[in-house]
Amino acid sequence: MSAEVPEAASAEEQKEHSLLLWFVQPLILSNLEEMEDKVTSPEKAEEAKLKARYPHLGQKPGGSDFLRKRLQKGQKYFDSGDYNMAKAKMKNKQLPTATPDKTEVTGDHIPTPQDLPQRKPSLVASKLAG
Amino acid sequence: MIPGLGALTQDTLWCFSQLKGTVEIGATEADIISTVEFNHTGELLATGDKGGRVVIFQREQESKNQVHRRGEYNVYSTFQSHEPEFDYLKSLEIEEKINKIRWLPQQNAAYFLLSTNDKTVKLWKVSERDKRPEGYNLKDEEGRLRDPATITTLRVPVLRPMDLMVEATPRRVFANAHTYHINSISVNSDYETYMSADDLRINLWNFEITNQSFNIVDIKPANMEELTEVITAAEFHPHHCNTFVYSSSKGTIRLCDMRASALCDRHTKFFEEPEDPSNRSFFSEIISSISDVKFSHSGRYIMTRDYLTVKVWDLNMENRPIETYQVHDYLRSKLCSLYENDCIFDKFECVWNGSDSVIMTGSYNNFFRMFDRNTKRDVTLEASRENSKPRAILKPRKVCVGGKRRKDEISVDSLDFSKKILHTAWHPSENIIAVAATNNLYIFQDKVN
């Protein structure tokens, strides 16, 4: 297996993968070690690849972001204060008509009940029982 | 049970038996099967899906005329177990996906099972009704009240046969005991209690009491910044009602004895395989995270599944497993892309056969693997629609790692990582297995000679 030299990622390719800043222990390998290990271990080669794509991976301090992210699965943010303030502000202006295409609610837009997708229970029977 | 049945000798051939679920490509996410479980006799097979529904299949009585066809599983009951909820206080969406189903041993004519989503465990009673009372005095046959003035004689209502009706009713709802997501439930051998485990805590429940539970394990650190590991699976010992194990995201297993103290934060046994520090990489901890832990039927061993291997541990030896089986080691050279597409976090389950001689677990490309602990032989099989003719023998599959690929082999780069087999089940005493492939359920049996 030929040793792969990691290509320097261009500015566009350097994605700030905030979701992937997970680690438990900081791993610092010297360049020389990396070259050696690539030849001997596929896992280390894969690690070198990953570090090449995401150079900031594993450098964020403080606890395990990976684990904390896992514990927060399903979290949606809804601030009733913001919502009510926005509603009050809207009262003075005409409410904009809902656009026919429902785009994702992001940014400064305060979500209204109409914007959020409805979570309904499955009314359809399982296809396994069909 | 025939001696030797259950061993994966070279004479064991697996055949397709049944396929449940639709063919259409536009299957919804709700149809994805999230758990499969046989009951203690193997008569019933339950599945849970992402849409919160449970489907129970029952094995038909074997008829003397069809010796070559063993009992097939037909739909017995289906119900909506959990529904989506929203916790307004914490801004948390609570998925209705059924994480686990566990059967209770049968004690009367009805069947009982526990089903759980991320937050709430429910006890369901599934019972049959094949008779109904007829001949009421105060009601007519449609149930309308009769005018008492018109009743001149009295009669005794009699039970008459009716078409079999199977009804499922929720008998207990065990709610509000878990801050984090429930990953496991396990019925105790005392049949009075069960445990539910989330990422950081394990609670002990009595089946009769829904408004209280005992916390028996709590690994939440005082400062969440110091969090280093979470609980990934937990199970009670099959015979000793005081013993249970739980696995962690760091690849360790702790065995606890409830007689030692009320809060089992201090383990009785600690199972960990020493790691070669020179082999350590960024991926080491992630791939060592245990996704499933199962006691053997004998209670002498535990089996754990991490991303690339299945390990068997002897309860009497804590410092290393007694057996390690490679499930798909060829993925080691793909870890970077598997990390990027999140597949590295897939949670595969593992199961024992009835005699603890063979273990089975799933992989990608709808492959699943069986390992015979005695002969050390292993086989890779595939759950695919192409091999779905009745009693078609499954051909062993092989993944080619490098160099020349033979005609029947598939190369690592051609594997479909969206087709993952996370959930499988093995009949408690026979060679019948249920394999969940996304939204389809495959049932395979060994060839009857």
Two tokens at A64? 């395990």
* Per-residue pLDDT at A3 exceeds 50: no
Predicted TM-score of the model (pTM): 0.82
* Per-residue pLDDT at A14 exceeds 80: no
Closest CA to B96 of B36, B31, B56, B51: B51
Closest CA to B291 of B246, B341, B236, B329: B246
CB A126 to CB B49 under 8 A?
Answer: yes
CB A43 to CB B31 under 8 A?
Answer: no
Cα distances (angstroms) measured from residue A113 to each of A84, A119, B89, B201? 12, 12, 16, 34
Decide if B66 contacts B150 (C-beta within 8 A): no
Decide if B369 contacts B397 (C-beta within 8 A): no
Cα distances (angstroms) measured from residue B39 to each of B22, B44, B113, B297, B429? 25, 5, 9, 14, 11
* CA B310/CA B434 separation, integer angstroms: 19
- Taking only the tens place, the pLDDT of each residue in A79-119 is 667 667 766 776 655 445 444 444 555 566 666 655 555 55
* CA B363/CA B401 separation, integer angstroms: 15
* CA B389/CA B391 separation, integer angstroms: 6
For residue A50, the model assigns a pLDDT of: 87
CB B282 to CB A70 under 8 A?
Answer: no
Q: What is the mean pLDDT of chain B?
A: 92
CB B282 to CB A51 under 8 A?
Answer: yes
Fold observed for domain B14-124+167-446 = Methylamine Dehydrogenase; Chain H (2.130.10)
Report CA dihedral (B206, B208, B211, B217) to the nearest 10 degrees.
10
Decide if B377 contacts B428 (C-beta within 8 A): no
Which residue has 């060839």 as its token pair? B447
Q: Which residues of A touch B78 (CB under 8 A)?
A: 125-126, 128-129
- Taking only the tens place, the pLDDT of each residue in B346-370 is 999 999 999 999 999 999 999 999 9
Closest CA to B398 of B441, B433, B369: B369
Of the two residues A27 and A124, the one the predictor is more confident about is: A124
Query: Across the interface, which of B86, B281, B285 has its CB nearest the CB of A47?
Result: B281
Query: Across the interface, which of B20, B333, B439 has its CB nearest the CB of A46?
Result: B333
Half-sphere exposure of B403 (CA within 13 A, CB side): 1
User: Domain limits of chain B?
Assistant: 14-124+167-446
Q: Model confidence at A77, in pLDDT bands (50, 70, 90)?
A: low
What are the mean pLDDT values of chain B's consecutive 10-residue runs (449 residues total)? Answer: 44 90 78 97 97 96 67 95 87 91 96 97 97 89 85 92 95 96 97 97 98 97 90 98 97 96 92 91 93 98 98 97 98 94 96 98 98 96 90 92 82 95 97 96 88
**Interface ipTM above 0.90:** no
According to DSSP, the β-strands at B410-411 and B399-400 are parallel
